[in-house]
Amino acid sequence: MQKKIKKPAKVPVHHAPPPNQVRIIGGQWKRSVLPVLQALGLRPTPDRVRETVFNWINHLRDGDWANAQVLDLFAGSGALGFEAASRGAAAVTMVDTHTPVIRQLEDNKTKLRADNVQLLRGDALLTAQGLAARGQRFDLIFLDPPYQQDFLAKVLPLCANLLKEGGIVYAESGMAMVFDENSEQGKPDWMAPWEVIRADKAGTVYYHLLTYNKVVTTA
């Protein structure tokens, strides 16, 4: 009787996980896929959120990006800044404090030939202060800082000096920024001059469009 030959046990093959990626949704680089560093806890804004947000912005700008000056203060993956550049923004300034992140963004800029993108390595708060002191103003500012570190409370007041008249701030957060004026926990002081014009939530991510209303002080 012929013995059955045992097949060798299958050895599991451990493939390296695919690199994190972001996909540009609209504009001249639509469907372009860009790699994102897996280190440093980068958290790219999800495609569905970006699509919604850029639909909002596109509506508010009547589809006109040609003269838009854009600032992405916590660039990270670059998903927001490159999306704006893809849609034809005149200039996009992207800021990040981590050298490896800036190097990855440089590679992506080169890949896309994104001449309308400028990259700055530095602390977001100090960079914002420096840009304001030099008189630079922006039509659109992206704020997607690390959650749970109170960055928005620190950076929004600085954005008041960076925003052009009628400009827009996009703010992403782990908590809602829509406050009930009648509740005991009303709008905090740092939100007082800001109006939330659009807001939504996806999973644990809250995202908002804000406009700035100058507070008129009376003597």
Q: Yes or no: say if 145 and 151 are a contact pair by the CB < 8 Å rule.
A: yes
Tens of pLDDT, residues 84-106: 999 999 999 999 999 999 999 99
Per-residue pLDDT at 71: 98
Name which of 7-11, 98-102, 146-150, 160-164 the model is least confident about.
7-11
- Residue 35 in domain: yes
Tens of pLDDT, residues 37-69: 875 566 778 888 999 999 999 999 999 999 999
- Determine what percent of the chain is predicted with pLDDT higher than 70: 84
Q: What is the CATH number of the domain that holds 40?
A: 3.40.50.150
Strand 91-96 versus strand 117-121 pairing type: parallel
Per-residue pLDDT at 194: 93
- Residue 10 in domain: no
**Distance from C-alpha of 132 to C-alpha of 196, rounded to nearest angstrom:** 23
Contacts with 93 (C-beta within 8 Å, 6 or more apart), sequence order: 70, 71, 72, 117, 118, 120, 131, 138
Q: Is the pLDDT of residue 216 over 50?
A: no
Q: Is the pLDDT of residue 78 over 80?
A: yes
Mean pLDDT (the chain, rounded): 86
- Residue 30 in domain: yes
- Residue 150 in domain: yes
